[in-house]
Amino acid sequence: MKVTAVKTFPVLAGWRDWVFVKIETDEGISGWGEATLLGYSRTVEGAVHDLVNGDLIGMDPRNIELHWYTLFRNTWFRPSIVLLSALGGVEMALWDILGKSLNVPVYQLLGGAFRQQIQVYNNTWYFSAKTIEDYATLAKRAVSDGSTFLKWDPFWGCDVFPSEEEIQRAKECVGLVRSTVGDHVELLIEMHGRFSPHDAIRIARELEPFRPFWLEEPIPSQCGIDSLEKVAQATSIPIAGGEKTLTRWQFLDLIKSQVLKFVQPDITYCGGISEVKKIANLAEIFYIRVAPHSASGPLLAAANLHLDASIPNFSIQEFFYPDLGFYQEILMEPFPAPKNGFIQLPSKPGLGVEPNEDIIRTRPFEYPKKPLHGGHYTSLEKYGYNK
């Protein structure tokens, strides 16, 4: 079997864009992967072609480790989240080809399944909230639809140094959601790496009475492990993070420090399925749980399911429930929908999902016209600037 072509497809999908990679072979088996890097669709699409640069053409796609190391070492500028995202999309497609060629799902090639269903947490359930009361109403609706783990950012776009009023507003939001959904629902608090270590500690202490399942990315990733340790030591709430951490080499010191109770590697950003499985193996040594980041499209979501099934220290999987409708629009067959907080493991060969090429060609890339991630980024208006 030989690779004959590597193609890319930036796809418009609701409120953002996804970048798919298709690798074709001379035996008629094609593999699909996802190289989405939120906000940088054109950049990462170009990186796929720069990275491959003809190196895969004529090669046997089933030698996944050989191709990964060759492409990774040839990047020279490493670690680069752009080049790694490109590599992640290519590597996923190679796994898809291997699974299809052997007529088995990818998780079987990763050592088999520890579990047949994957527990997921609900993200973006809160995006339409305009008031604190809206959060409670939407949380109640999400729970009635079967969600038992809810993640959200209650900080209303505050920046590095939040005011006391902003902290108290977030506390009120979390408190109202907790009282509305009860103690049986887990609350996952997203902080998007925005706060100073001092203010992250202030926030954590205010939220402790509501027993969050975790605080995610409380401080900017550039603060370093020492600052993260100070936050973790100051609160009883477990700390989750790592979505911006790249490859096993960057994860090593973070895992050895044991400052995180949950690591959140992203298969795309880290360069592929096998790389994140290696990161999970490192975390297992220190009894740290893995909750992979997944804020992109259906191919990354599917790749995560195969990874989650194959590792013993898996905890819970991020899943954007509102995106399911977009998945169904562009896939050849429906994506497995969550039921009561769980997704059944795909059983079809390869990744088990495949885009409809005719449809995705009708939904080309567009630059987003509104802020990403529900508008959590700081706006110029905060500093007194008006458009």
| 126 in any annotated domain | yes
pLDDT tens string 159-168: 899 999 999 9
Q: For residue 336, what pLDDT is reported?
A: 93
97 and 200 share one domain: no
Q: Tell me the backbone φ, ψ of residue 2, rounded to 5 degrees.
A: -130, 145
Share of the chain above pLDDT 70, in %: 95
Distance, in Å, from the CA atom of 37 to the CA atom of 85, rounded to the nearest integer, reads 7
With beta carbons less than 8 A apart as the criterion, state whether 270 and 88 touch. yes
pLDDT tens string 234-246: 999 999 999 999 9
User: Average pLDDT in the 65-80 region?
Assistant: 93
Helix (H) or strand (E) holding 289: strand 289-290
**What tokens does 382 get?**
């905060």
Q: For residue 368, what pLDDT is reported?
A: 60
182 and 297 share one domain: yes
**What tokens does 167 get?**
């902290």
With beta carbons less than 8 A apart as the criterion, state whether 201 and 231 touch. yes
What's the whole-number average pLDDT of the chain? 93
Q: For residue 322, what pLDDT is reported?
A: 86
| 381 in any annotated domain | no
* Residue in 238, 237, 303 with CA at minimum distance from that of residue 265: 303
> What one-letter code names the amino acid at 313?
N
Distance, in Å, from the CA atom of 302 to the CA atom of 306, rounded to the nearest integer, reads 7
N-to-C CA span, the chain: 55
* Residue in 305, 307, 302, 249 with CA at minimum distance from that of residue 276: 307
Distance, in Å, from the CA atom of 40 to the CA atom of 89, rounded to the nearest integer, reads 14
332 and 188 share one domain: yes
166 and 188 share one domain: yes
CATH number assigned to the domain comprising residue 323? 3.20.20.120
With beta carbons less than 8 A apart as the criterion, state whether 191 and 151 touch. no
With beta carbons less than 8 A apart as the criterion, state whether 11 and 358 touch. no
* Residue in 375, 339, 327, 343 with CA at minimum distance from that of residue 20: 327
- Residues 6 or more apart whose CB falls under 8 angstroms from that of 366 comprise 12, 17
174 and 285 share one domain: yes
- C-alpha R_g of the chain: 20
Options 67, 184, 192, 306, the catalytic residue = 192
| 369 in any annotated domain | no
Say whether pLDDT at 303 is over 70.
Answer: yes
Domain boundary among 83, 103, 123: 103
293 is catalytic: yes
116 and 68 share one domain: no
pLDDT tens string 144-160: 999 999 999 999 888 89
> Please, what sign has the CA dihedral across residues 368, 369, 375, 379?
positive
61 and 168 share one domain: no
| 363 in any annotated domain | no
Crossing angle of helices 225-233 and 247-257, rounded to 10°: 40
CATH number assigned to the domain comprising residue 11? 3.30.390.10
pLDDT tens string 21-62: 999 999 999 999 999 998 899 999 999 999 998 889 999 999
Say whether pLDDT at 369 is over 80.
Answer: no
Say whether pLDDT at 380 is over 50.
Answer: no
Q: For residue 387, what pLDDT is reported?
A: 46
| 375 in any annotated domain | no
89 and 177 share one domain: no
97 and 123 share one domain: no
| 361 in any annotated domain | no
Range of the domain at 331: 108-351
What is the number of structural domains in the chain? Answer: 2
98 and 225 share one domain: no
Crossing angle of helices 298-310 and 273-285, rounded to 10°: 40
Say whether pLDDT at 382 is over 80.
Answer: no
- Residues 6 or more apart whose CB falls under 8 angstroms from that of 166 comprise 155, 156, 158
261 and 299 share one domain: yes
376 is catalytic: no
Q: How far is CA 30 from the centre of its chain?
A: 24
Domain boundary among 47, 77, 103: 103
Domain boundary among 103, 138, 168: 103
Share of the chain above pLDDT 90, in %: 86
Rounded to two decimals, what is the model's pTM? 0.94
| 359 in any annotated domain | no
Q: For residue 42, what pLDDT is reported?
A: 93
Of the ranges 47-56, 177-186, 336-345, 376-385, which one carries the lowest mean pLDDT score? 376-385
222 and 346 share one domain: yes
| 362 in any annotated domain | no
Distance, in Å, from the CA atom of 281 to the CA atom of 265, rounded to the nearest integer, reads 12
Say whether pLDDT at 218 is over 50.
Answer: yes
